[in-house]
Amino acid sequence: MILTTTENIGGRQYEVLGLVKGSTVQTVNAIRDIGAGLKTLVGGELSKYNDMMNDARALATKRMVQEAEYIGADAIVTVRYSSASIMQGAAEVMAYGTAVKFTD
CATH number at residue 78: 3.30.110.70
Q: Name which residue leads in pLDDT, 38 or 70.
A: 70
What average pLDDT does the segment 54-78 reach? 97
Confidence of residue 13 (pLDDT cuts 50, 70, 90): very high
Rounded to an integer, the average pLDDT of 33-43 is 52
pLDDT attached to residue 95? 98
Per-residue model confidence (pLDDT) at position 41: 52
Which structural domain range is residue 14 located in?
Answer: 2-102
How many domains does the chain contain in total? 1
Rg (CA), the chain: 17
- The pLDDT confidence band at residue 90, using thresholds 50, 70 and 90, is confident
Res 32: pLDDT: 52
Q: Rounded to the nearest 10 degrees, what angle do helices 30-42 and 47-70 cross at?
A: 130
**CB distance 79 to 3 below 8 Å:** yes
